[in-house]
Amino acid sequence: MGSAQRLPHIVIIGGGLAGTAVLLRLLKDVRQPVHVTVVESRKTLGLGLAYSTANPQHLLNGLARAFSLYEDEPLHFVEWLRRHATAHGWEPEAGTLLEDSIAPRKLYGTYIQDTLQQALRQADSRIVVQHRCNRAVAVQPVAGSSHAYRVELNDGVVLDADHLVLATGVFARQAAALPFAVDAQVHESARYVGNLWAEAAWDGIERDERVALLGTGLSSLDALINAEQGGFQGQFVAFSRRGQKLHARLEVEPWPDFLQYPEQGVTLLPLLRQINTQRRKLRQSGEHWQRIVPSIRAHVPTLWARASDAERRRFMHRLRSQWEASLHRCAGAALAWQERAIAQGRYQARRGTVTALRLDSSGRIVVEYRPTQGTAVQTEVFDRVINCLGFEFDWRKTAEPLLHQLLHSGLVQADALGFGIRIRAQDCAVLDAQSQAQGGLYAIGHPVRGTIWESNAIPEQVPQAGLIARAIRGQLPEALPSQAVEQTVAA
C-alpha cells in the first residue's frame, strides 16, 4: 500500500447506498490512478439500514425500473433481476412485467453487492479501494490547501484526503428530540422499541396482546410486518397527528406537465390553486390521483430552490405530511399485511398527538395522547410500543461527534429548517458557515435535503453521485505514473 499513499486520495465517509453509489461512479468513470477509502462501520458496504433487512416481506417502495445504480443504464437493475432473481427464489407477480415489479429490499441488497463486486473487478487496475471498518470522528482542513482534509477515525488513524464525500445517511432521534415526554424507565424497558429494525426488538412479540405504533408511515408498515411474522395475534393501535394513510403504488401514466411559476419568489398558494384545478380534472375524467404525483415531483428541486425559507416552513407546516404520503407509496403486497389486520378487526388508528409515555405499576407502557377532535388527554395501556416516527435529519440534534465537530468548525452550515447541511446544488459541494463552496468537500443523500428536498431515494441519490464523481474527476491530475497499482479491497 505504500505507493497507494502517493495517489490522489478520495475519502467517502459513509458506506451505505449513497456512499456506494459514489464509489460505483468513480470505479466506472475514473481512468487515472487514485486511492479511494470508504469509512463505514458496518462490515458490508452498500446496504445501510434499508437494505440490511433479512425479511423478504420488506419490499422496495417503487418499480424495478426506477432502481438502477447507474444513471446511464436505466434498466441495469431490471436486467440483473432477469439474470438472477429466480436463483434467489423470487419472481414478480403473475402478469407483471419485470420492470414494473416491486422486489424485496433484501434482494436489492444482493444486487448492490453483486454490482459493487463486478465494478471492482472491471475497474482500472491502478485504482486502490479500501474499506475501513471505523467511524470518522473529526475532519480538519489542511493548512495551506484549498481542497485537502485530514479525517480522524475512532481508532486514532488519520487519513489525508484530497477529496472528501459526506455520505453520512440518517440518524436515530435522541430522547430529548422526541415530540413527547418519555420517562427514563420507558427507555430502559424492553417493551419500548426505539429501533424497530433490531431483531431483538421482536423477542416475545407472540405473547403480547396490544401493540402501539407511534406513526403511520412506511416505518410503521415495516413494524407491523415484523410483528405479524413474529407471531403476533393481538391488537395494533397506530397513533398519528394528522391521520395520514398509506397508499399502494399504482402503475399509471404521469399527468401532463402543468405547473407554472416565476423565476424567483415561488409561493405556495398559487401552486396549490394549479394543483387543485388539475385534481378536479382528474376526478371529472375518472383518472386516478396518483397520475399527478410524478408531474409535481419533477418540479420539486426547482420549486424548493426558488422558495424562501418562510415559504418552505409554510410547506412543512401545512403540506409536508400530505405530500410525503402521496409520494412515498408502498407496494400493494406490503400494504396487504395492514389491510388483513384491519379486516380481522386487529388494527385501529388514533388521530391525535401523543404527549407522554410512562410505565404503569405492572410494567406495561401507558400512552398519553390528545385526540385531534378534543382537548382532554386520554390514556391507553400497551404491552409494547414501537417508535415509527422516522429519523433525525437535524445535525444539531444528533449524538454524532463528527457532525457536531463539522458544525462547530464552520466547515459546514446547518440548514435553516433543520434538514442536514447546505450545498451547492449543481455539484453537491458543501457550503461553509460563510456560505462559500468548499473545495474538494461534497455531500450526498439525506444530509442535503435542505437544499434539494427530495434526496432520500435512489432516483435522487444516483444522479447526485454522478455530479460528485464528475466534479472529482475534473480535478484529478492528467499525468499517470508508469507503474500500475494493484487493486485491493481491505477491511
Q: If we measure between CA atoms, which residue out of 6, 39, 309, 7 comes closest to residue 164?
A: 39
Burial status of residue 283 (CB atoms within 10 A of its CB: 0-12, 13-18, 19 or more):
exposed
* CATH architecture, domain 3-171+393-473: 3-Layer(bba) Sandwich (3.50)
Q: If we measure between CA atoms, which residue out of 304, 10, 39, 27 comes closest to residue 167?
A: 39
- Per the CB < 8 A criterion, the answer to whether 165 and 22 are in contact is yes
Q: What is the pLDDT of residue 172?
A: 85
Q: What is the pLDDT of residue 4?
A: 41
User: Tens of pLDDT along the chain (491 residues)?
Assistant: 344 447 999 999 999 999 999 999 999 999 899 999 999 999 999 999 899 999 999 999 999 999 999 999 999 999 999 999 999 999 999 999 999 999 999 999 999 999 999 999 999 888 999 999 999 999 999 988 888 999 999 999 999 999 999 999 999 888 778 899 999 999 999 999 999 988 889 999 999 999 999 999 999 999 999 999 999 999 999 999 998 999 999 989 999 999 999 999 999 999 999 999 999 999 999 999 999 999 999 999 999 999 999 999 999 999 999 999 999 999 999 999 999 999 999 999 999 999 999 999 999 999 999 999 888 999 999 999 999 998 999 999 999 999 999 999 999 999 999 999 999 999 999 999 999 999 999 999 999 999 999 999 999 999 999 999 999 999 998 755 544 344 434 33
Q: Quick one: cell of 326?
A: 402521496
**What angle do the packed helices 105-122 and 17-29 form, to 10 degrees?**
30
* CATH architecture, domain 175-247+329-387: 3-Layer(bba) Sandwich (3.50)
Residues counted in the chain: 491
Q: How far apart are CA 401 and CA 403, in angstroms?
A: 6
Domain ranges, ordered by start, for the chain: 3-171+393-473, 175-247+329-387, 268-327
Q: What is the pLDDT of residue 479?
A: 57
Q: Residue 47 has what DSSP assignment?
A: -
Intrachain domains 3-171+393-473 and 175-247+329-387 with the same fold? yes
Q: Residue 101 has what DSSP assignment?
A: -
